[in-house]
Amino acid sequence: MPFDRVTLSGRYFNRRDEVAADWRRTFLLGGFLAVIDVLISTIVGYVVYKTFKGYFINPVELGFYCNDATIRHPWRPNTISPGALIATIIGTTPLIICVAETLLFRLSQGVNLLPKWVRSCTFEYLKFIIGFSICISVMEVFKCTFGRLRPYFIDVCVPDWTKIDCSIENNFVPGIFLHAHCTGDPIRIRNARSSFPSGHAAAAAFYAVYIVFYLYRVARAGFTRLIEGVTVLMGLLVMGWTLFVLVTRITDNRHHVNDVIFGSGLGIGFALLTHSLLTRQHIYEEREIKRKIKFE
């Protein structure tokens, strides 16, 4: 695994003689180093995303046609806020991974199973964080490149209609001219210029597809009713929550339908790419363990 050489926990667990000597020390120190690895990767991903969003690029200032009814919907609060979305994804992913790895290792045999379990949980989560961070950063670049107006744009722009000519329905109002005559909150106006693609959809779709593919690999490797039942249940819960997120982005007037579709496709694509690039085909070989129960 490449993570063995670039992470604190990986380098520690490679010291096999010391790891095998004391399982308590292994669990405490290895677990602590794993938490440090996760915190570092999470912080780096967050900083990269915020840097792209707040400093390097700003949305293109597109104009609109006076008779465009698709951007005249009322502003509504988020059913699922960005903070709640990220907290749910970042919080439940390690829990799901730890449960799945526990079930897998419970039916496995080998030496130093405890450090291998900690290492496996850590590395699976790091794979997720890396792919997720790249996905949302690329998504933000797309948002600013296209600068599509959200369905509630007019509501938060609060244009000074005395200075904008909409006497003819199909008149076009240039973006630069419109920016000068929006009287609403600048932060909301900037956000209203980033409809395409949907960030919520990209994040939720990445989360769902990554987790479902991961659980599928675990279930296929474990091949017991317990593992299959637990993984299917967790997968269904993740998929159900993701579909709810996608629907609310439309009902909250936050995105147009094709924003959500493209955002979902972006998340799915990055999830599949992350799996293909960072995951070995054989789940037991990757963890350096063997299946305890063999099936004909």
Q: Is 290 helix (H, G, I), strand (E, B) or coil?
A: strand
pLDDT tens-digit profile, the chain (296 residues): 566 666 666 666 666 544 455 656 666 776 777 788 778 877 877 777 666 665 567 788 888 888 889 999 999 999 999 989 999 998 899 999 999 888 887 776 665 677 778 888 888 888 899 899 899 989 988 998 898 999 999 999 988 888 887 877 788 888 776 666 788 888 888 889 899 999 999 999 999 999 999 998 888 776 678 888 888 899 999 999 999 999 999 999 999 999 999 999 999 999 999 988 876 656 655 655 566 655 43
Chain position carrying tokens 């722009």: 157
Q: Give the C-alpha separation, 217 to 283, whole Å.
A: 7
Mark out the alpha helices in the chain (DSSP H runs): 3-6, 8-13, 16-21, 23-51, 82-106, 113-146, 153-157, 175-180, 186-191, 199-222, 225-251, 257-278, 283-287
Strands 64-65 and 108-109: unpaired
Specify the length of the chain in residues. Answer: 296
Q: Give the C-alpha separation, 206 to 222, whole Å.
A: 24
Specify the pTM.
Answer: 0.86
Q: Give the C-alpha separation, 259 to 247, whole Å.
A: 12
Q: Give the C-alpha separation, 254 to 176, whole Å.
A: 23
CB 120 within 8 A of CB 287: yes
What pLDDT score does 295 carry? Answer: 44
What pLDDT score does 184 carry? Answer: 87
Q: Exposed, middle or buried by CB within 10 Å (0-12, 13-18, 19+), for 76?
A: middle
Q: Give the C-alpha separation, 78 to 68, whole Å.
A: 23
